[in-house]
Amino acid sequence: MRSRLFIWASLILAVLLTVFIYWPGVHGGFTLDDYGNIVDNATLHIHNLRIQTLMAAAFSTHSGPLDRPLSMLSFALDEYFWGPGPYSMKATNIFIHAANGLLVFVVATLILNAYRRFRPDLSPSLLAWTAVAIAAAWLLLPINLTAVLYIVQRMTSLSATFALIAIALYLQGRLRMLEGRSGLWLIFLGFLIFAPLSVLAKEDGALIPVYTLILEFTLFGFARADGRRDPRLFVMYLVLLVLPGVLGLIWMWPGIHASFEHSGRLFTMWERLLTEPRVMLLYIAWSLLPNLGVLSLYHDDFPFSTGLLSPPTTLLSMLGIAGLVALAVWQRRQRPLLSLGILWFLGGQLLTGTIFNLELVFEQRNYLPDFGLLLALFSMTLLESPIERLAMARRVLIAGLIALYAGITALRVHEWANPIRFAIISAAAHPHSPRATYGLGRTYANLVDNAQSPMLPLATKALEKAEAVPHTSILPASALLILHAKLKLPLKQQWWQNVDRILAHPPLTPQDINGLTAMVNCSTHGCAFPKKPMIRMFNVAMKHNPGNANLATIYSNYTLNTLHNFPLTYDLMSQAVKLAPDVSQYWVNLAELNIYLGLYKQAEANMAKLRALNRFGHLDDALKSLHARLEKTRAERSAVKNATLVPPPPSKAAANE
């Protein structure tokens, strides 16, 4: 009992220490995808808790194929209850991370209990302390910081919450089955309830069957209580993993391959596959032996591989990954925890480190996979025989490693706690990163409130430097134009030329789209941009990106609100719904325009399209608003028309005659 109290007290202390270290980070700001998904997402800023409003907020983004509704709903509720701004959202992220640390302890405990079947000489106390050490290290692991303080990556941490619950249920179910008790119901509870919840938070939840298959391969061997293979497990994995994986890959393959041609990536699918082994080995180093000067939110300057020997580390890294797989298979029986840890980490990279058209490097991708690295390292250090040899030295080593993780994480939190400090350090560490250099310029620009501000020269210099970074987007140039237009200062011709030059090299990137959107919004709200370069900018973009529905929509916003060119606006909005018929907002835009123009039948047809897209009633409010506007406009125009048909009363002079 006393030992248990010490164990739980140590676990709670690790959780509290994590919250204490992370808490200064709540004072940091929004960054990167926070703006598109949260700050500039009007549908997310709810003012009531009606089911239609909540559903609209849940499906208000297109971050993934399923829209990640649980994560988006959590952001909306955060803002509704605690107000706008990053503070409450970062605080919620910290508490989710702390809860995940407790779940990691549960999963580690169950895994170590299963391992004790191979090593009955290990004491329950030693296994419990090992689970505490793994959980504490995972909570304080510096590479996990971006999944906590980068607000939008709640998608990653919330998905991990449900994934860990599903995995814990699987482990408990299998342990019960090996004892001759019923356990399949726990396994199916995890797969049918918590795995879908994990996927609805982020697609990483699709890897839950991969993690459990690795557990089965290394710890359980598909065995039942009598030692024979359990055919039900083979059928389960055939239905839940193999068939969906094969059929899904066949279905998605054309789109995956085509996405590399139309996304604006600098690398091909083949080059991505060559690069990711290098990235995975770096992830291992960054996780277990973190370097404060290397860990960063920005890795968009990472050089990709173009051949097996370009750079030479490409082939070496591929051999290294193959060696790790071979080691895991070889050690499956002698050291199952080492095998489990290696395969867990590599299995966790199957979505983000293979053929899918994603960025090359992001640290939060290791949030759940790095549990496997810690399991492998700590089990080899604390549990491998002879456990008596240098036991105290090995425990001190692990304690020192956890303390190192805590110290580096505290320093990273210090960087993130101040937006200016964060921007300066990031740009200095990654001078060739388009995002880091632009982030510094944007941070300075946000501090400029008048033309005499001492921050104006700093902002201009930083943004012009960001303009010169290779492979940059239009964001730095558009920010320069917006900043100086707001202050009614001269706009350099060079800035316009840089925008046109970048837009002339398709395809458009999400950053280019954000820059165009910001310029149109500024034009609508007081930025006196000259019309000629604005029209030229859009003509260049439309010429080289004729199939981009988002671009057509942004241009239609400009032609409607600034140029008041209704025929061109109608053509652009019609083009958008043809190019992207599944995006509800495009149909809303077209319906509103048709109502304004008096094209009521067309508006009704647009609303019919919206009803077909109305999943779970999330468009109910939009449809209700459109219907009310349609009826009101009809009534007003009918009244005007009838008034013109009634003959005016005779004048007094005419009446006297």
Three-state secondary structure readout of 16-70: HHHHHHHHHHHHCCCCCHHHHHHHCCHHHCCCCCCHHHHHHHHCCCCCCCCCCHH
Q: How far apart are CA 574 and CA 273, in angstroms?
A: 38
pLDDT at 52: 87
Q: What is the pLDDT of residues 514-565, one digit of tens each?
A: 999 999 999 988 888 999 999 999 999 999 988 899 999 999 999 999 999 9
Q: What is the pLDDT of residues 204-263, one digit of tens each?
A: 999 999 999 999 999 999 998 888 999 999 999 999 999 998 998 888 888 887 777 766
* Residue 295, domain member (yes or no): yes
Model confidence band, residue 157 (pLDDT cutoffs 50, 70, 90): very high
Angle ∠(526,569,34) on CA atoms, nearest 5: 55
Is the pLDDT at 280 greater than 50? The verdict is yes
pLDDT at 657: 33
Whose CA is closest to 351, among 519, 185, 207, 255?
207
Range of the domain at 319: 2-30+85-414
Average pLDDT over residues 193-206: 95
Is the pLDDT at 387 greater than 80? The verdict is no
Q: How far apart are CA 50 and CA 61, in angstroms?
A: 19
pLDDT at 643: 62
160-174, 282-296, 381-395, 431-445, range with the lowest pLDDT? 381-395
pLDDT at 615: 76
Structure-model confidence comparison of residues 647 and 108, the more confident one: 108
Evaluate whether 94 touches 148 at the Cβ level (below 8 Å): yes
Q: How far apart are CA 237 and CA 220, in angstroms?
A: 14
What average pLDDT does the structure give for the chain?
Answer: 91
Concatenate the DSSP letters of all residues of 107-167 into one string. HHHHHHHHHTTT-TTS-HHHHHHHHHHHHHHHHH-GGGGHHHHSGGGHHHHHHHHHHHHHH
Model confidence band, residue 648 (pLDDT cutoffs 50, 70, 90): low
pLDDT at 251: 86
Residue 417, φ and ψ in degrees, nearest 5: -70, -20
* Residue 200, domain member (yes or no): yes
Q: Which residues pair with 223 in a beta bridge?
A: 229
Angle ∠(447,449,455) on CA atoms, nearest 5: 50
Instruction: Name the burial class of residue 237, with classes exposed (0-12), middle (13-18) and buried (19+) by CB atoms within 10 angstroms of its CB.
Output: middle
Average pLDDT over residues 627-654: 68
What six digits make up the tokens of 573?
């909005």
pLDDT at 171: 97
Number of Cβ atoms within 10 Å of the Cβ of 488: 10
pLDDT at 331: 94
Q: How far apart are CA 53 and CA 617, in angstroms?
A: 9
* Total of domains in the chain: 1
Q: pTM of the prediction?
A: 0.89
* Residue 289, domain member (yes or no): yes
Is the pLDDT at 266 greater than 50? The verdict is yes
Concatenate the DSSP letters of all residues of 448-471 into one string. --STT-THHHHHHHHHHHHHTSTT
Q: Which helix (H) or strand (E) holds 173?
A: helix 154-178
H helices of 296-390, in order, are: 313-330, 336-347, 370-382
C-alpha separations of 654 from 290, 646, 650 in Å: 96, 18, 6
Evaluate whether 448 touches 483 at the Cβ level (below 8 Å): yes
* Residue 297, domain member (yes or no): yes
Evaluate whether 104 touches 157 at the Cβ level (below 8 Å): no
Residue that has been written with the tokens 């707001």 in this structure: 486
Q: How far apart are CA 648 and CA 78, in angstroms?
A: 59
Amino acid, single-letter form, for residue 527: C
Evaluate whether 376 touches 337 at the Cβ level (below 8 Å): yes
pLDDT at 212: 97
Fill in the DSSP letter of residue 289.
S
* Residue 519, domain member (yes or no): no
Q: What is the pLDDT of residues 448-493, one digit of tens each?
A: 999 999 999 999 999 999 999 999 999 999 999 999 999 999 999 9
Residues 6+ apart with CB under 8 A from 468: none
* Residue 236, domain member (yes or no): yes
Q: What would you report as the CA-atom Rg of the chain, rounded to the nearest whole angstrom?
A: 29
Cis, peptide link before residue 369, omega less than 30° from 0 = no
Evaluate whether 25 touches 591 at the Cβ level (below 8 Å): no
Q: How many residues does the chain have?
A: 657
Evaluate whether 158 touches 70 at the Cβ level (below 8 Å): yes
Fill in the DSSP letter of residue 45.
S
Percent of the chain scored above 70 by pLDDT?
A: 96
Number of Cβ atoms within 10 Å of the Cβ of 575: 21
Average pLDDT over residues 325-354: 95
pLDDT at 651: 46
* Residue 24, domain member (yes or no): yes
* Residue 589, domain member (yes or no): no
Structure-model confidence comparison of residues 256 and 198, the more confident one: 198
Residues 6+ apart with CB under 8 A from 5: none
H helices of 507-583, in order, are: 510-524, 531-544, 549-558, 566-579
Q: How far apart are CA 327 and CA 340, in angstroms?
A: 11
Instruction: Name the burial class of residue 12, with classes exposed (0-12), middle (13-18) and buried (19+) by CB atoms within 10 angstroms of its CB.
Output: exposed
pLDDT at 647: 54
What six digits make up the tokens of 357?
């058209």
